[in-house]
Amino acid sequence: MPHGSEDNRLPSALFVNRTNPKTKILPNNYGRRESLHTMEIIIGRDQQTRQLCIIKDGSARLYGRPASVPMDVSRHHISLQPVGAGKWQIRNLNEQNVTYVNGIAIESKVISEQDHIELGKSHSLFHWEALKEQKPVVETVDIRPLKQVWDEYNLANISVKRKQKNIGLLSSIPIGITMLGGLMSGILPDEFKPIAYVFTAIAFLVMLYGFYKRLTDNSIEEQEYFKKIFQQNYVCPKCGHFMGFKDYDLIVQDKACPYCKAKYIK
């Protein structure tokens, strides 16, 4: 081989064209060159909001309403790459992904914007207008109904805690009555000592009642029930995410949902 010539047989992962550094040469096809500026668009499901996520030029943009993309669409489902003359190269990004073009399952195909793309086994239709640059729309959500949900949960918790406190106080009453009866038997004349026995009997009855209340106490079950109902209802009306065990007044201060970013109407 003449000195200074390049051996294209070298198993390099990537050769750089010295005459044009902005062009890369793929090792599996030495005659093929692709511009590093070729735009590749990644399309999939946003993990938090379950909206269509479009990654373009390194930045992600969401399209559609929250929870509009089925779970069988992966986070990085397909890529679209323009190949000229209004054509696009569509490619599955994972062998487990399912993609249909005009109702036929594909792995890679050259298509146009007149073709219908469906993502996942649920055939979620991809809309070409999602690729168009759009001004961000600031969505709003009325969270005022959550105040009633929080207040009801707070009152239920207070009621359960008061019930548990009363049962605890009930268990201490017999001790006080017994001590009072013993004190009276020590300072009163013998003819009044039967009163001490009456106090002891009362203390015993109260103790039995306290045992009964503890055995039939269902405050823990009530607390779990109220908690479950609260978790179902204390959610963002827009995206349905649970807002956590956070005071309503503190949530309002956040000004927007941390998940779908919808601004609060308060």
Is there a domain that residue 124 lies in?
yes
pLDDT at position 28, please?
Answer: 37
Report the distance separating Cα 69 and Cα 126, nearest Å: 10
For 135-156, what is each residue's pLDDT tens digit? 555 678 899 999 999 999 999 9
Same domain? 125 vs 170: no
The mean pLDDT values, 10 residues at a time, for the chain of 266 residues are: 39 33 35 48 90 85 88 94 91 93 94 94 90 66 93 92 80 68 65 69 75 78 91 90 92 87 82
Residue where one domain finishes, among candidates 105, 131, 157: 131
- The order of strands in the sheet holding 99-101 is 104-105, 99-101, 117-119, 124-126
Q: Select from 213, 141, 118 the least CA-distant residue to 173.
A: 213
pLDDT at position 64, please?
Answer: 85
pLDDT at position 244, please?
Answer: 92
For 201-254, what is each residue's pLDDT tens digit? 777 777 777 777 777 778 888 889 999 999 999 999 888 889 999 999 999 998
61 is written with which tokens? 């943009």
Is there a domain that residue 18 lies in?
no
If you search the block for the tokens 């030029």, which residue do you land on? 57
Q: Give φ, ψ of 30 to 5 degrees.
A: -70, -20
Same domain? 42 vs 118: yes
Same domain? 124 vs 152: no
pLDDT at position 5, please?
Answer: 40
Is there a domain that residue 161 lies in?
yes
pTM greater than 0.75: no
pLDDT at position 29, please?
Answer: 37
If you search the block for the tokens 């373009």, which residue do you land on? 56
Same domain? 157 vs 252: yes
Cβ-defined contacts of 173-181 (< 8 Å, 24+):
173/203, 173/206, 173/210, 174/203, 174/204, 174/206, 174/207, 174/210, 175/203, 177/202, 177/203, 177/206, 178/203
Region of 191 on the Ramachandran plot (φ > 0 left; ψ -120 to 50 alpha; else beta): alpha
Residues contacting residue 223 through CB under 8 Å, at least 6 positions apart: 157, 160
CATH number at residue 103: 2.60.200.20
Same domain? 127 vs 177: no
pLDDT at position 120, please?
Answer: 93
Pairing between β-strand 33-35 and β-strand 41-45 as defined by DSSP bridges: unpaired
Report the distance separating Cα 111 and Cα 105, nearest Å: 13
Per the structure, how many domains does the chain have? 2
Residue where one domain finishes, among candidates 85, 100, 131: 131
Q: Residue 246 sits in which domain range? A: 141-265
Report the distance separating Cα 197 and Cα 182, nearest Å: 9
pLDDT at position 147, please?
Answer: 94
Same domain? 113 vs 92: yes
